[in-house]
Amino acid sequence: MIERFRQIFGQAEGVRVFRAPGRVNIIGEHTDYNLGFVLPMALDLATYVAAAPSGGRNVRIYSEHRNEMREFEVDGLAERKPEQHWTDYPIGVAQELIRAGHALGPADLLIRSTVPEGSGLSSSAALEVSSALAFLNGRAMDPLELALLCQRAERNFVGMPCGIMDQYISVFGREHAAVEIDCRSLGRRYVPLPHSAAFVAVNTMVKHELSGSAYRDRVRECAAAVEILKQQYPGVESLRDVSPEQFEPAARLLPPVVARRARHVVTEDARVNRFVEAGEAGELARMGKLMLESHRSLQHDYEVSCEELDFLVDAALGMEGVFGARMTGGGFGGCTVTLLRRAAVAGFIEGITRAYEAKFHLTPRTYECRPSAGAGECKNFEKIPALS
């Protein structure tokens, strides 16, 4: 990667390489911006940024994936406006760093990523966190503040009202474990996963146009539910504060669509806690059942699934060694995640690929999900994947 940096920028003095992983969310979907619970794991799929200070007055950013270079004057970074372009993610991060008091100088950045875009595996957060580390270039920042800063960049500059999960897990991932995150307190608990279990993400290879607008709609609908429910339960500040037992008698107070959205969030928070209990007990069948319940709730109450995701879930359930499956990520395309016996992985990948090709005439990409360490600098000649 340093050699590639030399080819593009003409020099390779002082180059450092930083990595931030993508993630798969095992359970707890659309709960993070409702200050609830989520259970993601960081992946070995990651975004790498090679960076070095440069002469001149510009920041130059090159994306290998797009074979595209963009230049920005350092002195104008703080005033730039979004362009609905991939560079909004690193430029938004740069603005937040400047606001936080971190001076940025001229620099060259080379971006390489193995996280597939539009897959629901959080390529945007991986780009944000790796870019932040590259701009900092070894300067220290509290890890939680790093995650919050990158979330602010996506909310304030990119314009996506996201929760904290994606940036948080990219920073705090750990090998061999998922991370249960309390999105209100920002506390975490590392959750070892049963050794006999495997998780496989299957990419539909589609991303329907509704995804961005529907996400914003769901945020507004959940906020509307809170405003009504707090009249019944004065202590309610977010849907996280409402138990399933409290919700059902109060659901009649809500407009039907808002009630369905809130029902998903309330029951999903409870499913995360039950899933962690089942995982600690090694109860794979119970874990799979909760994943399927999560998908049906996302499919019918939250209405963020699509035909391709539903097919992958339903097809997986009939395959040997599978305990459960669900969509993961924002929805309307992207990936499913399937829980299965480790010994069944190869047969599952072959079977689900064949079934999806027969139905949609598309070849899905599959990724065995291996829990990975969180973001940091690559040292000691770690192996960085070539651009695929």
Q: Which amino acids are annotated catalytic?
A: 166
In angstroms, the CA 347 to CA 198 distance is 13
As a whole number of angstroms, the distance between CA 77 and CA 181 comes to: 33
In this structure, what DSSP letter does residue 321 have?
T
Cβ neighbours of residue 382 closer than 8 Å, sequence gap 6 or more: none
For 320, the 3-state DSSP assignment is: coil
Q: Which of 168, 141, 153 shows the shortest CA–CA distance to 23?
A: 168
Q: Residue 328, exposed/middle/buried by CB under 10 A (0-12, 13-18, 19+)?
A: buried
User: How many residues make up the chain in this entry?
Assistant: 388
State CA 20 to chain mean position distance: 12
Whose CA is closest to 8, among 68, 59, 58? 68
Nearest Cα neighbor of 135 from 21, 23, 43, 20 is 20
d(CA 301, CA 314): 18
